């Protein structure tokens, strides 16, 4: 019978070197990102939070922020995140932790993210990184693409009467009398149906740079909101005189007028109607537009498959907005490392 080798002084280092030789993707992300870029904003948020009843969360700000990025990269719950940090050497190395260091528990992770969410800091972190990419010449400014994707939420087991009250913006009486039950209910998520499939939760509306496929802007809504309703929130002065691509969900006179008013070159797919189908010329135009518009599908494809980010465990619009912001920021970080290697 083969005996186990005696533990050596450098066993941990040898194992990490073996992981590196196998191509640990976290090494690339860690080395190519300027994490200190985010420290001033994080410090500002928690300097204010320290004066509140919750106090300052333990741990280095950057390390805790990197935990949130890891969570979104692998779509892990707080409990799973705590376990994986303890279990995986690659996670510990990414966070700058040694085997003997204290590991943040799930409550600490939740509190850190909650403080960022309540301070509306996650969108600021996203914009901070967007400015960094722009200042370093990464953004191409060769047109943009808009699209939206569902972020599925845990489905609620409500009665028909409760759902009717929620739609009216009311809180069912028995929920108000039972705080524990109420805190587990999402009154902001909504149902919708697309292509015969029911969806419950929220939507991640994004605008991406056409050439680089980096997300430039995002908006979180409940799942029932039509894509075209939030287009104006995704646009800014940088879009003027550039092309904007989108599928036929964005077609119609209101969008056409919006783009004309903002001097944006309209490349939205045309839509056929009953009794007024698309002509051959219109179909050909749509086909040509699809070559550019389809690039946004790669973004959602990466989020859904590589990041498993098409669902959320959070309850309520504000917390899901924070999750969506972290998803989009994490995607941009991964995309940046890809662009640097092209």
- With respect to residue 48, please indicate whether it lies within any of the assigned structural domains: yes
Q: What Cα–Cα distance (Å) separates residue 179 from each residue in 171, 172, 174?
A: 12, 12, 9
Chain segment 7-66, per-residue pLDDT in tens: 544 455 555 555 455 557 899 999 999 999 999 999 999 886 655 554 444 469 999 999
Q: Is the pLDDT of residue 227 over 60?
A: yes
- With respect to residue 74, please indicate whether it lies within any of the assigned structural domains: yes
- With respect to residue 95, please indicate whether it lies within any of the assigned structural domains: yes
Q: For residue 175, what pLDDT band results from cuts at 50, 70 and 90?
A: confident
> Based on the domain organization, do 284 and 144 belong to the same domain?
yes
Cα 239 to Cα 227: distance, rounded to the nearest angstrom? 18
Least confident of 146-155, 171-180, 259-268, 298-307: 171-180
- With respect to residue 290, please indicate whether it lies within any of the assigned structural domains: yes
Q: Is the pLDDT of residue 98 over 60?
A: yes
Q: For residue 273, what pLDDT band results from cuts at 50, 70 and 90?
A: confident
> Based on the domain organization, do 163 and 28 belong to the same domain?
no
How far from the centroid of its chain's Cα atoms is residue 89's Cα? 26
Q: Which of 22-36, 177-191, 217-231 has the highest mean pLDDT?
A: 217-231
**Backbone phi and psi for residue 236, each to the nearest 5 degrees, phi listed first:** -150, -175
> Based on the domain organization, do 172 and 280 belong to the same domain?
no
> Based on the domain organization, do 149 and 284 belong to the same domain?
yes
- With respect to residue 5, please indicate whether it lies within any of the assigned structural domains: no
> Based on the domain organization, do 210 and 220 belong to the same domain?
yes
Residue 181: predicted pLDDT: 66
Q: For residue 203, what pLDDT band results from cuts at 50, 70 and 90?
A: very high
- With respect to residue 331, please indicate whether it lies within any of the assigned structural domains: no
Structural domain for 113, as ranges = 11-119
> Based on the domain organization, do 279 and 199 belong to the same domain?
yes
Q: Is the pLDDT of residue 165 over 80?
A: no
> Based on the domain organization, do 72 and 165 belong to the same domain?
no
- With respect to residue 321, please indicate whether it lies within any of the assigned structural domains: no
Number of structural domains in the chain: 3
Residue 254: predicted pLDDT: 96
> Based on the domain organization, do 84 and 166 belong to the same domain?
no
**Which residues sit opposite 148 in a β-bridge?**
205
> Based on the domain organization, do 78 and 147 belong to the same domain?
no
Cα 55 to Cα 42: distance, rounded to the nearest angstrom? 15
Calculate mean pLDDT across residues 212-218: 98
> Based on the domain organization, do 275 and 233 belong to the same domain?
yes
* CATH number for the domain that contains residue 148: 3.30.420
Calculate mean pLDDT across residues 154-166: 77
Mean pLDDT computed over every residue of the chain: 89
Residue 9: predicted pLDDT: 44
> Based on the domain organization, do 95 and 172 belong to the same domain?
no
> Based on the domain organization, do 181 and 213 belong to the same domain?
no
Cα 7 to Cα 10: distance, rounded to the nearest angstrom? 9
Residue 56: predicted pLDDT: 43
Residue 276: predicted pLDDT: 83
Question: Could you please report the per-residue DSSP string of 100-148?
Answer: TSPPP-HHHHHHHHHHHHHTTHHHHHHHHHHHHHHHTT----S-EEEEE
Cα 36 to Cα 12: distance, rounded to the nearest angstrom? 27
- With respect to residue 135, please indicate whether it lies within any of the assigned structural domains: no
Residue 302: predicted pLDDT: 96
């Amino acid at each position: 019978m083969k005996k186990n080798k005696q533990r050596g002084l450098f066993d941990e280092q040898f194992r990490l070197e073996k992981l590196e030789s196998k191509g640990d993707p976290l090494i690339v992300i860690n080395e190519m990102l300027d994490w200190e870029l985010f420290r001033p904003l994080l410090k500002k948020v928690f300097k204010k939070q320290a004066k509140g009843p919750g106090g300052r969360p333990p741990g280095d700000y950057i390390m805790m922020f990197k935990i949130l990025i890891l969570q979104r990269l692998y779509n892990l719950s707080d409990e799973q995140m705590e376990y994986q940090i303890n279990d995986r050497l690659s996670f510990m190395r990414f966070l700058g932790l040694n085997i003997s260091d204290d590991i943040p528990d799930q409550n600490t992770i939740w509190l850190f993210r909650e403080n960022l969410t309540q301070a509306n800091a996650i969108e600021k972190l996203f914009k901070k990184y967007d400015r960094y990419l722009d200042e370093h010449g990464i953004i191409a400014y060769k047109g943009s693409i808009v699209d939206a994707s569902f972020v599925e939420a845990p489905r609620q087991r409500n009665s028909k009467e409760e759902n009717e009250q929620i739609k009216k913006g009311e809180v069912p009486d028995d929920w108000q009398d039972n705080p524990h039950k109420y805190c587990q209910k999402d009154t902001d998520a909504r149902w919708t149906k697309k292509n015969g499939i029911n969806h419950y939760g929220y939507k991640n509306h994004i605008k991406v740079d056409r050439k680089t496929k980096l997300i430039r802007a995002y908006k979180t809504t409940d799942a029932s909101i039509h894509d075209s309703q939030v287009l104006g929130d995704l646009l800014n002065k940088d879009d003027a005189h550039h092309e904007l691509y989108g599928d036929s969900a964005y077609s119609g006179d209101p969008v056409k007028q919006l783009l004309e008013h903002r001097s944006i070159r309209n490349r939205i797919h045309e839509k056929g109607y009953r009794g007024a189908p698309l002509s051959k010329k219109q179909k050909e135009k749509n086909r040509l537009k699809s070559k550019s518009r389809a690039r946004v599908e790669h973004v959602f494809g990466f989020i859904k498959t590589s990041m498993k980010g098409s669902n959320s465990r959070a309850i309520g619009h504000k917390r899901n907005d924070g999750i969506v912001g972290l998803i989009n920021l994490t995607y941009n970080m991964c995309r940046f490392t890809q662009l640097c290697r092209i």
